[in-house]
Amino acid sequence: MIDSAASFGVASGKERRVGDTCGLLLFSANHADSLRRQVQSHLAYAEQHPSSISDLSYALGARRYFLPHRAFCVVSGQAPPQVSSFAKAMETPKVIGVFTGQGAQYAQMGRQLIVEEYGFRETIRSLDAILGKLADAPSWTIEGRFNLKAT
């Protein structure tokens, strides 16, 4: 059991490791028929090997290419799996930056991005507009936090 969850009274009378019976399964294939067969075979495997769900989840999410036809499913011992509708990806997204929150970025990286990258700056401004419309809107803006006056 996860200690932090137990400290909030989440622990049940029966201890179990969450990763053993729960998992997010990501599916992708080049064709819809292939995707349908893949979903069926993986769900059958997960049903027969519930202790392998965390390994299956990892393999499908981190060790496979993401192909155009996609679906996902949350598997748990609590309820029958519900597979998402099938979707076809339009194109590969263009990622301009990923902030993990773990200190992976260097100091002033956000400031440099807002000054030099139009897409990043416009995204920050749209987020500020959304925050500004809240009933209890903050007195500050995200863009203002970058201290651009010193540029």
> Would you say the pTM of this structure is higher than 0.75?
no
Tokens for 86, please give them: 């099938």
**pLDDT for the residue 19:** 44
**pLDDT for the residue 120:** 87
pLDDT along the chain (151 residues), means of 10: 42 44 89 95 91 90 88 85 89 69 67 86 92 93 77 48
Of 85, 86, 71, the closest CA to residue 24 belongs to 71
Domain positions in the chain are 3-88, 109-150
**pLDDT for the residue 149:** 64
Q: Give the orientation angle of helix 32-48 with respect to helix 53-62, to 10 degrees.
A: 150
Q: Is the CATH code 3.30.70.3290 the one for domain 3-88?
A: yes
Tokens for 3, please give them: 């200690």
**pLDDT for the residue 70:** 93
Q: State the greatest distance between any 2 C-alpha atoms of the chain, in Å, as a whole number.
A: 61
Rounded Cα gap, residues 97 and 113, in angstroms: 9
